[in-house]
Amino acid sequence: MKMLYIKHRSGKRMNNFAISAILAARELGFEFTIANNMSLAEPGHFEKVCTQYGIKMLDIPFSRNPLSPDNVKAGKQLLALMKQEKYDIVHCNTPSGGVVGRICAKLAKVPVVIYQAHGYHFWRGAPLKNWLFYYPIEKLLSYWTDIAITITREDETLARRKLHARKVEYVPGVGIDLTKFAAPAIERNAMRASIGVPKDAVLLLSVGELNANKNQEAVIRAIAGTGIYYIIAGIGKNYERLQNVAAEVGMAEYVKLLGFRTDVRELYACSDVFVIPSFREGLSVSMMEAMASGTPCVAGRIRGNVDLLPESELLFDPHNVEELKSAIQKALDKDIASREVARNMVNVQKFSMPEAVSAMRRIYENAIEIATR
Please say if the pLDDT value at position 171 is more than 80: yes
Exposed/middle/buried for 285, CB within 10 Å: 0-12, 13-18, 19+? buried
The pTM of this model reads: 0.86
> What does the pLDDT look like over 257-306, one tens digit per residue?
999 999 999 999 999 999 999 999 989 999 999 999 999 999 999 999 99
Give dist(CA 295, CA 273) in Å, integer.
6
Q: With the CA atoms of 45, 51, 52 and 55 taken in that order, what torsion angle do they form, in degrees rounded to the nearest 10? A: 100
Residue 229: name the closest of 244, 238, 219 by CA: 219
Report yes or no: 281 and 119 within 8 Å, Cβ to Cβ. Answer: yes
Who's near 161: CB < 8 A, 6+ residues apart?
Answer: none
**What pLDDT score does 187 carry?**
87
Q: For 347-366, give one letter per residue: b (16+ CB within 10 A) or e.
A: bbeebbbebbbbbbbebbeb
**What percentage of the chain carries pLDDT values higher than 90?**
87
**Average pLDDT value for residue range 51-58:** 96
**What pLDDT score does 1 carry?**
94
How many angstroms from the chain centroid is the CA of residue 353?
A: 14
Residue 213: name the closest of 237, 245, 244 by CA: 237
> What does the pLDDT look like over 12-43, one tens digit per residue?
888 777 899 999 999 999 999 999 999 989 98
**What pLDDT score does 183 carry?**
67
**Mean pLDDT computed over every residue of the chain:** 94
Element (H, E) at 112: strand 112-117
> What does the pLDDT look like over 347-373, one tens digit per residue?
999 999 999 999 999 999 999 999 998
**What pLDDT score does 197 carry?**
97
**What pLDDT score does 31 carry?**
97
**Average pLDDT value for residue range 237-244:** 97
**What pLDDT score does 349 carry?**
93
> What does the pLDDT look like over 108-153, one tens digit per residue?
999 999 999 999 999 888 899 999 999 999 999 999 999 999 999 9
**Average pLDDT value for residue range 40-65:** 93
**What pLDDT score does 178 carry?**
86
Who's near 346: CB < 8 A, 6+ residues apart?
Answer: none
